């Protein structure tokens, strides 16, 4: 078809080629933009697969940190083989325990202090919430004073010594729940006319567990259990044995396990024996059996130690991993050396 100038109007291939070229260029530009957008969002997983980390498929909790922010990093502690540091400690009375006293012990080369918090026959050196007024020593200190003395001591080991079952005051106040009683239900007494807690009774473990937790709350990082035995004196025939479902050794082991649970695994829980008790082996009267009890303890303190090799042999024969601590010196002037 001609136009008015005499030329034909052309509607052929040239226009279609331009359109096709424009489409191709648009596709290439879109592909380039998509590549630039996605190349920083490709994630290579640990199994070798590839995934895309797209912001519009994430929740707010998964959003990457803004510039200048850092993600929290969990740093796992190094594995601990459970070994305790050697102990070279000195005994100190609770009434004399101060930050200055600890500094003096440190300057003398000691790396720990042992403080008797609950002693013979249930006497307390501090104002325990679980002690009767008669059970408090005349110079009993406040828990706050002990806590203040132990603050800021660093790696200096603080050991609370607790005499366990020879406790006239609590045994008499809770005969049914904690005391060793006669068959008629009344409290039993030994040759000194004093009373004892029964390791087989739940009330005993609950009471001692409360006392041990008080010591931990005051800042002690180790508890030394002393007097951890049934009484062997007095008229044994007058003791009510019906409260025990197992032998004395099993009752002591169960009580130790309950006290461990009370203080937790982070607190060192140790046991004090005399050399005579350690070397004698199993004793049905007292319930002591090194083969059963020593593996439960983190440390074993031995009083009157004259044959260290024999004591270490007993620990080895029991399969105990506890460290052996020698207790030496006069009463009130004890030195503890591991």
Encode pLDDT of 266-297 as tens digits: 999 999 999 999 999 999 999 999 999 999 99
pLDDT of residue 156: 95
pLDDT of residue 203: 97
3-state secondary structure the chain: CECCCCCECCCCHHHHHHHHHHHHHHHHHHHHHHHHHHHHHEEECCCCCEEECCHHHCCHHHCCCCCCCCCCCCCCCCCCCCCCCCCEEEECCHHHCCHHHHHHHHHCCCCEEEEEEECHHHCEEECCCCCCHHHEEEEEECHHHHHHHHCCCCCCEEEEEEECCECHHHHHHCHHHHECECCCCCECCCCCCCCEECCCCHHHHHHHHHHHHHHHHHCCCEEEEECCCCCCCCCHHHCCCCCCCCCHHHHHHHHHHHHHHHHCCCCEEEEEEEHHHHHHCCCCCCCCCHHHHHHHCCEEEEECCCCHHHHHHHHHHCCCCCEEEEEECCCCCCEEEC
pLDDT digits (tens, 9 = 90+) for 98-132: 999 999 999 999 999 999 999 999 999 999 999 99
Contact of 125 with 119, CB cutoff 8 Å: yes
Total-model pTM: 0.76
d(CA 312, CA 146): 34
Read off the pLDDT of each residue in 87-100 and give the average, rounded to a whole number. 95
pLDDT of residue 330: 77
Reference 229, options 316, 288, 278; nearest CA is: 288
What's the pLDDT band for 338 if we cut at 50, 70, 90?
confident
Read off the pLDDT of each residue in 248-269 and give the average, rounded to a whole number. 97
**Phi/psi class of residue 287: alpha, beta or left (left: φ > 0; alpha: ψ in -120 to 50)?**
left
pLDDT of residue 36: 53
d(CA 99, CA 123): 24
pLDDT of residue 320: 81
d(CA 335, CA 141): 23
- Angle formed at CA 292 by CA 226 and CA 263, multiple of 5 degrees: 50
d(CA 23, CA 10): 22
What's the pLDDT band for 37 if we cut at 50, 70, 90?
low
pLDDT of residue 60: 45
Looking up tokens 């983190």, which residue turns up? 298
Is the dihedral angle over the CA atoms 223, 228, 234, 236 positive or is it negative?
positive
**Residues in the chain, total:** 338
Phi/psi of residue 234, nearest 5 degrees: 75, -175
pLDDT of residue 332: 75
pLDDT digits (tens, 9 = 90+) for 158-171: 999 999 999 999 99
Residue 243: how many other CB atoms lie within 10 Å: 13
Model confidence at 207: pLDDT above 50: yes
pLDDT digits (tens, 9 = 90+) for 165-192: 999 999 999 999 999 999 999 999 999 9
d(CA 300, CA 278): 10
What's the pLDDT band for 5 if we cut at 50, 70, 90?
very low
Q: What is the residue-averaged pLDDT of the chain?
A: 84
Model confidence at 61: pLDDT above 50: no
pLDDT of residue 246: 87
- The torsion angle over the Cα atoms of residues 47, 49, 50 and 55, rounded to 10 degrees, is -60
pLDDT digits (tens, 9 = 90+) for 67-77: 444 434 444 43
Residues of the chain with CATH 3.20.20.80: 88-337
What's the pLDDT band for 315 if we cut at 50, 70, 90?
very high
Q: What is the homologous superfamily of the domain 88-337 according to CATH? A: Glycosidases (3.20.20.80)
What's the pLDDT band for 31 if we cut at 50, 70, 90?
low
d(CA 114, CA 325): 12
pLDDT of residue 23: 60
d(CA 319, CA 187): 38
More confident residue, 39 or 246: 246
Both structure tokens of 236:
């044994």
């Amino acid at each position: 078809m001609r136009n008015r100038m005499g030329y034909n109007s052309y509607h052929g291939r040239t226009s279609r080629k331009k359109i096709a070229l424009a489409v191709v260029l648009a596709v290439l530009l879109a592909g380039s933009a998509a590549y630039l957008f996605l190349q920083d969002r490709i994630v290579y997983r640990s199994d070798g697969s590839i995934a895309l980390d797209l912001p519009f498929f994430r929740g707010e909790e998964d959003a990457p940190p803004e510039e200048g922010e850092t993600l929290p990093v969990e740093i796992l502690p190094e594995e601990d083989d459970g070994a305790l540091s050697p102990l070279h400690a000195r005994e100190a009375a609770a009434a004399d325990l101060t930050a200055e006293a600890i500094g003096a012990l440190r300057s003398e080369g000691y790396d720990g202090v042992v403080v008797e918090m609950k002693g013979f026959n249930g006497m307390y050196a501090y104002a325990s919430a679980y002690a009767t007024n008669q059970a408090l020593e005349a110079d009993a200190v406040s828990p706050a004073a002990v806590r203040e003395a132990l603050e800021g001591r660093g790696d200096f080991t603080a050991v609370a010594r607790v005499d366990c079952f020879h406790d006239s005051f609590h045994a008499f106040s809770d005969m049914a729940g904690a005391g060793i009683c006669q068959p008629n239900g009344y409290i039993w007494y030994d040759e000194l006319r004093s009373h004892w807690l029964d390791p087989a009774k739940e009330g005993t473990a609950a009471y001692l567990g409360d006392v041990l937790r008080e010591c931990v709350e005051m800042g002690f990082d180790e508890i030394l259990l002393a007097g951890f035995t049934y009484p062997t004196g007095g008229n044994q025939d007058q003791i009510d044995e019906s409260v025990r479902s197992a032998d004395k050794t099993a009752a002591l082991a169960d009580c130790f396990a309950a006290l461990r649970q009370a203080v937790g695994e982070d607190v060192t829980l140790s046991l004090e024996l005399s050399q005579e008790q350690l070397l004698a082996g199993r004793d049905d009267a007292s319930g002591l059996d090194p083969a059963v009890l020593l593996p439960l303890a983190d440390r074993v303190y031995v009083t009157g130690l004259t044959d260290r090799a024999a004591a270490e042999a007993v620990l080895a024969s029991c399969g105990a991993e506890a460290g052996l601590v020698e207790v030496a010196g006069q009463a009130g002037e004890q030195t503890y050396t591991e």
